[in-house]
């Protein structure tokens, strides 16, 4: 059935604007999706512009029964009419419909969603429709706000947004397994005379992959533009099956010239506080929905496993309190003397200095010992990447360390990983040789250290982990529209 267009063409007004300005006694047009149709009379209409619905009141006694029949949960409709003060409780204004248009019918027998609570797992399998739910609409509005806030934060501080390549020929970044990019025919891969794959016939005439990090290219930009940041998709072909890993995710990587590790920590902390505060300020309604959802979800858990703070309290806490900063060496001391370590409750007991921290250790520090975000610094050089700056030896520190920092958040774990970069050419080359990083492939990177090198620092922020923290969603697959993970690339 073709839609009946409004005789009098009027621009539609977004529900967010109507509820903000409440233009009572004016005629408005709204268009959206039916969230509920009560009593053959009251339509709860949502157009995605905000969490709240607008109540559209139908004069059902004089309405065409064939039209009323089509007003179903999920249908796309338009309504023209006078905005009036609501007679009922629960909303201040409502729209007295003079005309209703059905744009898209929604057959309740076919439509997978229902006007009730549905499991996140079910909705994940219907990811193309889950935007229609209150929870996911809220998540994606918050996700947008956070992305915007990040751009605003950096732009306001004179950073340049640098677009680093998504296809890269460098496989020396050391940040994990990569996805190969090729146009070679997989059913008939060409080989050279000595039996190697003949990449000379490939599109780029060399092996290429999807990027695992824009950092090295970002450094090149920073060493001329001063302060840059990247914000783009990142790909890891790791077989990771957890609630905080994706094969395709978005990462923010600022890089700052003439900056040391402390500057780096200050920047990361200020940014995280800024964007959390932005969400509190601009996403109050959506955060309320997510907070209530979390409360419901936690009712199923035993008392001692429920989070002590509500979602917005948690965000306020991050905004208002300084992060705890301590060195790896200090953290090891705390962990060694901790109750769970003494009682043998850690799956991986703390033996001593030098071992990488497991997530149970990070969780203990963040959730039990400090109960606030923690920045760990100056890790052993042996467990960190080649480009991190070697520290001067310090008293009481058993081995060489680098100017690395990881920011750990409650419930999320590592949300930021960064470092001051090794700007000294000789030191960097020595490190690359020790770690078997092919110098020839990164000659362009080494040029920055040959010509006008300077101290600089940067970090990587996992955007989805940030969205998880702010929305309280437990699974990272629920904060990205169409998650990619091992065995899954649907939609």
Residues between 386 and 415 that touch RNA (CB under 7 A): 413-415
Please, are residues 212 and 166 in contact by the beta-carbon 8 Å criterion?
Answer: no
Indicate whether 134 belongs to the interface with RNA (CB under 7 A). no
Query: Interface residues for RNA in 91-130 (CB under 7 A)?
Result: 91, 94, 108-109, 112, 114-119, 121-122, 124-125
Segment near RNA (CB under 7 A), from 25-33, 86-94, 286-294, 306-314? 86-94
Phi, psi angles (nearest 5°) of residue 87 = -75, -30
> What secondary structure letter does DSSP report for 51?
S
Query: Interface residues for RNA in 370-389 (CB under 7 A)?
Result: none
CA 344/CA 365 separation, integer angstroms: 16
Among 8, 25, 39, 305, binds RNA (CB under 7 A): 39
Q: Compute the least distance from the CB of residue 110 to RNA, in Å.
A: 9
CA-closest candidate to residue 222, choices 279, 162, 165, 182: 162
Nearer CB in complex with RNA: 9/38: 38
CA-closest candidate to residue 419, choices 207, 256, 301: 256
Please, are residues 219 and 448 in contact by the beta-carbon 8 Å criterion?
Answer: yes
Element (H, E) at 158: none
Q: Compute the least distance from the CB of residue 190 to RNA, in Å.
A: 28
Q: What 3-state class would DSSP assign to 301?
A: coil
CA-closest candidate to residue 224, choices 190, 200, 197, 258: 258
CA 148/CA 466 separation, integer angstroms: 13
Long-range contacts of the stretch 261-266 (C-beta < 8 A, 24+): 261/377, 261/389, 261/403, 261/405, 261/419, 261/420, 261/457, 263/457, 264/405, 264/418, 264/419, 264/420, 264/457, 264/458, 264/459, 265/323, 265/325, 265/375, 265/377, 265/405
Nearer CB in complex with RNA: 162/202: 162
Segment near RNA (CB under 7 A), from 184-192, 236-244, 367-375, 424-432? 236-244
Nearer CB in complex with RNA: 356/439: 356
Indicate whether 367 belongs to the interface with RNA (CB under 7 A). no
Among 28, 54, 57, 365, binds RNA (CB under 7 A): 57
Please, are residues 139 and 468 in contact by the beta-carbon 8 Å criterion?
Answer: no
Nearer CB in complex with RNA: 224/382: 382
Nearer CB in complex with RNA: 327/419: 419
Q: Compute the least distance from the CB of residue 258 to RNA, in Å.
A: 23
Query: Interface residues for RNA in 175-204 (CB under 7 A)?
Result: 175-176
Indicate whether 213 belongs to the interface with RNA (CB under 7 A). yes
Q: Compute the least distance from the CB of residue 452 to RNA, in Å.
A: 26
Query: Interface residues for RNA in 65-84 (CB under 7 A)?
Result: 72-73
Among 90, 158, 302, 396, binds RNA (CB under 7 A): 90
Nearer CB in complex with RNA: 5/348: 348
Please, are residues 166 and 206 in contact by the beta-carbon 8 Å criterion?
Answer: no
Q: What 3-state class would DSSP assign to 129?
A: coil
Query: Interface residues for RNA in 7-26 (CB under 7 A)?
Result: none
Indicate whether 477 belongs to the interface with RNA (CB under 7 A). yes
Query: Interface residues for RNA in 337-366 (CB under 7 A)?
Result: 347-348, 356, 358-360, 363
Q: What 3-state class would DSSP assign to 22?
A: coil
Among 169, 182, 240, 453, binds RNA (CB under 7 A): 240
Among 86, 182, 201, 453, binds RNA (CB under 7 A): 86
CA 167/CA 181 separation, integer angstroms: 7
User: E strands within 64-116?
Assistant: 76-85, 93-104
Query: Interface residues for RNA in 306-335 (CB under 7 A)?
Result: none
């Amino acid at each position: 059935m073709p839609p009946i267009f409004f005789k009098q063409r009027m621009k539609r007004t977004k529900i967010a604007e109507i509820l903000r300005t409440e233009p009572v006694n004016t005629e408005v047009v709204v268009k959206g999706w039916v969230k509920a149709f009560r009593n053959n009379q009251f339509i709860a209409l949502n157009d995605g512009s905000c969490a709240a619905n607008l109540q559209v009141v139908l004069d059902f006694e004089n309405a065409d029964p064939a039209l009323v029949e089509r007003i179903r949960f999920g249908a796309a409709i338009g309504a023209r009419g006078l905005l009036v003060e609501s007679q009922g409780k629960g909303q201040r204004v409502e729209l007295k419909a003079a005309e209703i248009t059905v744009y898209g019918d929604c057959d309740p027998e076919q439509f997978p969603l229902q006007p009730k609570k549905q499991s996140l797992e079910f909705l994940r399998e219907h990811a193309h429709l889950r935007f229609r739910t209150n929870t996911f609409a809220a998540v994606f509005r918050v996700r947008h706000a956070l992305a915007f806030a990040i751009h605003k934060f950096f732009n306001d501080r004179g950073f340049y947004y640098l677009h680093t390549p998504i296809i890269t020929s460098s496989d020396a970044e050391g940040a994990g397994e990569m996805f190969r990019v090729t146009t070679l025919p997989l059913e008939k891969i060409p080989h050279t005379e000595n039996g190697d794959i003949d990449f000379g016939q490939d599109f780029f005439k060399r092996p290429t992959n999807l990027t695992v990090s824009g950092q090295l290219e970002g450094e090149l930009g920073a060493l001329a533009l001063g302060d840059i940041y990247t914000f783009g998709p990142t790909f890891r072909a790791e077989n990771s099956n957890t609630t905080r890993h994706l094969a395709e995710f978005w990462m923010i990587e600022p890089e700052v010239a003439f900056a040391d590790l402390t500057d780096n920590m200050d920047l990361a902390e200020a940014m995280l506080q800024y964007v959390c505060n932005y969400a509190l300020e601009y996403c109050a309604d959506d955060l309320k929905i997510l907070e209530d959802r979390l409360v419901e979800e936690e009712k199923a858990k035993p008392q001692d496993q429920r989070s002590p703070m509500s979602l917005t309290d948690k965000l306020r806490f991050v905004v208002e309190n300084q992060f705890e900063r301590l060195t790896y060496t200090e953290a090891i001391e705390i962990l060694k003397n901790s109750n769970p370590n003494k009682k043998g409750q850690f799956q991986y007991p703390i033996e001593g200095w030098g071992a990488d921290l497991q997530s149970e250790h990070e969780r203990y520090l963040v959730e039990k010992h400090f109960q606030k975000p923690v920045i760990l610094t100056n890790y052993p050089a042996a467990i960190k990447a080649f480009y991190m700056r070697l520290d001067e030896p310090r008293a009481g520190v058993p081995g060489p360390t680098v100017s690395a920092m990881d920011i750990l958040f409650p419930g999320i774990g590592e949300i930021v990983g960064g470092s001051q970069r090794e700007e000294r050419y000789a030191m960097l080359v020595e490190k690359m040789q020790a770690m078997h990083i092919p110098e020839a492939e990164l000659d362009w990177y080494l040029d920055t250290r040959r010509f006008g090198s300077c101290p600089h620092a940067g970090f990587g922020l996992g955007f989805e982990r940030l969205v998880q923290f702010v929305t309280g969603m437990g699974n990272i697959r629920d904060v990205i529209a169409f998650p990619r993970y091992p065995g899954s690339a649907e939609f």
